[in-house]
Amino acid sequence: MTEADLIAACQRGEPRAQRQLYERLAGLMLTVCRRYLKRREDAEEALLLGFAQMFRALPTYRGEGSFEGWVRRIMVNRALMELRRREPLTLSFDDFAQPENLASTPATADTQLQADDLLALLAELPAGYRTVFNLYALEGYGHQEIAALLGISEGTSKSQLSKARALLQRRVTHQLIINNEQ
Amino acid sequence: MLPEDIDNLFRDGLDGHVTPPDPALWARLADATNAAGAPPAADDARLDELFRAGLAAHATPPGRALWERLEDEHLRPPRPRRAAAWWPRALAAAVALLLVAGGAGLLWRHAAGLRPGTELAARTSARGTQGTAGPLRPSEISGTSKTNQQNAVAAATGAPADALDATAGAPKGTLATAATPATTAPQVARAATGQEGPRAARAMKSTSLAAAENNFSHQATRLAVPASSGSSATKRAAVSPSVAARPGPARSGAPDAPAPAVRGPKPLDAGALAVAPTPTAAPASAVIEVEVRRGSAAPAPVAAATAETFSDDDDRPVGRRVLGGLLRQARHVVRGERVSLAEATGLPENLTLQANLGGRTLSRTIRL
């Protein structure tokens, strides 16, 4: 069954198609939610609510753009809502990384880190850093969009991104050292 | 040595001296220079690419229960997928209902147990020709029952024959009133023929005699009214088969005196008022009859009632029986089986209330 057929069947409310669509997208979308939320239970809750919202909104989907991208946006919004409930975002926007803590050795793209390692590194970030980094670096949002989405200024968004990167570089290096020792 | 000479010594010895550096020192310096001079955007891009590539296609398998939760809570919430959420409430409600019903049954039985004989045959009738006979008092019925049990047996054994004869059109005016012990509520069996004239008078006379003999005259004379004025050949009688089967001196041709008979306490239906169905052509305006009966079936014709229906072999105390019934129903609830209020309280499954008022028959069946 093609994606279009599957979407059409889901729009008709067929349970089997809904199950199939869920199985096709749930894993990817759970990773998206895990990038924003520390605890897997919270990520699964966001996934659950996101799918419920997606199935409700599916009749309004006009097939413009990537369907996976459409679902991903729903999941990101739902994860952010869940994040606000679980981890108050504003408390994490304080300066966390001092200049002396920043990495001196840059991480490279060929660094061999597993996805779970990367998710763990993201989970260790303060919520504000993690959110801005996710939205900017991985989702492709601009600072203006991020500022509107999170209710912060563009300058704060840039600052959070810079500090998040610096912290991640340091931790990636540290993680690589650990991996090499093992 | 003068101080000026020391200064000159070091100045002349070290001036122009060259110490060759370690070759690795330049490499380290070069690395440091490159790192410091590299644009920060390149590092950021590499870091972003690291996370983007590592996580873009990564899928985290969700828990198995997540889809079921999605279905139950959001996609198809009305579907009762799991009954565990409501069954404790249902169990509590069922237990409460059983307790209330059991208490009501105990009260009913207790109230019934205060009456002697616990069987009541009473009739509320209004008649024009014979006057009004009030409802029977339990004491009267009890006394009558005790003294006339033999007559009751005779009536019970003889009445069916008369009734059958009458149904077949035999010109014989008979009235048979029998309180059947098996029903626990006395049933008055009446056989009436549509006779007029002397037959009716004779019937009246015979029933009056029977009534006087049995100290139950008010019933006999009352029952004579429809016999004398009725024109229908329809005759119905309700006789307990247990009584009918009981050997006893049958008085053939006896006018079937009314004989309420009692066989042991029947507390359950002691308050029931049982009167045999009236002939359809009886002067309905003169008689008001009310019948409360187990079950929902129509009034049984001659010997139609089953003995086992009315048998009561359980000699346990009432309280223990009710308690046992309640415990059985609780077990049914736990097992998810059907709960019977009648079984829990010892009440009959169905009660039929039938009233004949002014030629109209009103019938109501109550299912417990």
DSSP for A78-136, written as a single string: HHHHHHHHHS-GGGGGS----GGGS-SS---TT----HHHHHHHHHHS-HHHHHHHIII
Using a CB-CB cut-off of 8 Å, the residues of chain A touching B73 are 48, 52
Give this complex's ipTM: 0.77
Nearest chain A residue to B73 by CA distance is A52
Could you tell me which residues are beta bridge partners of residue B133?
B125
Out of B43, B60, B67, closest to residue A31 by CB: B60
Task: Dig out the tokens for B69 from the structure.
Answer: 């939760």
- Count CB-CB contacts under 10 A for residue B28: 10
Residue B168 has pLDDT above 60, yes or no: no
Contacts of B43 in chain A (CB under 8 A): 106-107, 165, 169
- Strand partners of residue B125: B133
Looking at residue A48, its pLDDT comes to 93
Q: Which tokens belong to B262?
A: 């009692």
Q: Which single residue is written with the structure tokens 């089986």?
A: B337
Tokens representing B344 are 């829990």
Q: What is the CA radius of gyration of chain A?
A: 18
Residue B259, C-beta contacts closer than 8 angstroms, at least 6 positions apart:
B144, B148, B149, B151, B152, B153, B154, B155, B156, B177, B178, B179, B214, B216
Q: Which of B50, B52, B73 to mutate to test the interface with A (most CBs of A within 10 A)?
A: B50
Question: CA Rg, chain B, in Å?
Answer: 49
- Chain A contacts in chain B segment 13-72 (CB below 8 A): 35, 38, 43-44, 46-63, 66-67, 69-71
More confidently predicted of B346 and B35: B346
Closest to B62 (Cβ–Cβ): which among A44, A113, A172?
Answer: A44
Q: Contact B339/B332 with Cβ under 8 angstroms? A: yes
Q: Match 């660094």 to its residue by tokens.
A: A111
Q: Residue A115: which residues within 8 A CB-CB, separation 6 or more?
A: A31, B54, B55, B58
Average pLDDT over residues B249-261: 42
CB contact burial B77-110 (16+ within 10 A = b; e otherwise): eeeeeeeeeeeeeeeeebeeebeebbeebbebbe
- Give percent of chain B above pLDDT 90: 2
CB B256 within 8 A of CB B173: no
Q: Which amino acid is at A58?
A: L
Question: What average pLDDT is seen over chain A?
Answer: 85
Query: Residue B366 in 3-state DSSP?
Result: strand
Structure confidence at residue A30 as a pLDDT band (50, 70, 90): very high
A51 contact B CB<8A = yes
Domains of chain A: 3-86 (1.10.1740.10), 89-181 (1.10.10.10)
Position A46 scores a pLDDT of 94
Which of B149, B130, B131 has its CA nearest to residue B141? B149
The encoded tokens of residue B144 equal 């009558």
Could you read off the pLDDT of B185-222 as tens digits, one per residue?
344 434 344 444 445 445 444 444 444 444 444 443 44
3-class state of residue B355 by DSSP: strand
Provide the greatest CA pair distance for chain A: 58
- Provide the token pair at B118: 């616990």
Minimum-distance CB partner of A118 among B55, B70, B73: B55
Between chain A and chain B, the number of residue pairs with CB atoms below 8 A apart is: 96
Q: Report whether B50 contacts A107 (CB < 8 A).
A: yes
Question: For position B189, what pLDDT does the model report?
Answer: 38
Nearest CA of chain A to the CA of B84: how many Å? 22
Alpha-carbon dihedral B145, B149, B151, B152, rounded to 10 degrees? 80
pLDDT over 70 at A151, yes or no: yes
Lowest mean pLDDT among A89-103, B55-69, B148-162: B148-162
Minimum-distance CB partner of B47 among A22, A28, A165: A165
Measured between CA atoms, how close is A88 to chain B, in angstroms? 24
Q: What is the mean pLDDT of residues B336-350?
A: 67
Question: What band does A7 get if pLDDT is binned at 50, 70 and 90?
Answer: very high
Cα separation, A7 vs A21, whole angstroms: 8
pLDDT band at B130 (very low <50, low <70, confident <90, very high): very low
The secondary element (H helix, E strand) that includes residue A153 is none
In DSSP terms, B290 is beta-bridged to B355
CA-based nearest distance B35→chain A, Å: 8
Q: Give the C-alpha separation, A37 to A50, whole Å.
A: 14
Measured CA to CA, the distance from residue B273 to residue B265 in angstroms comes to 15
pLDDT score of A85:
87
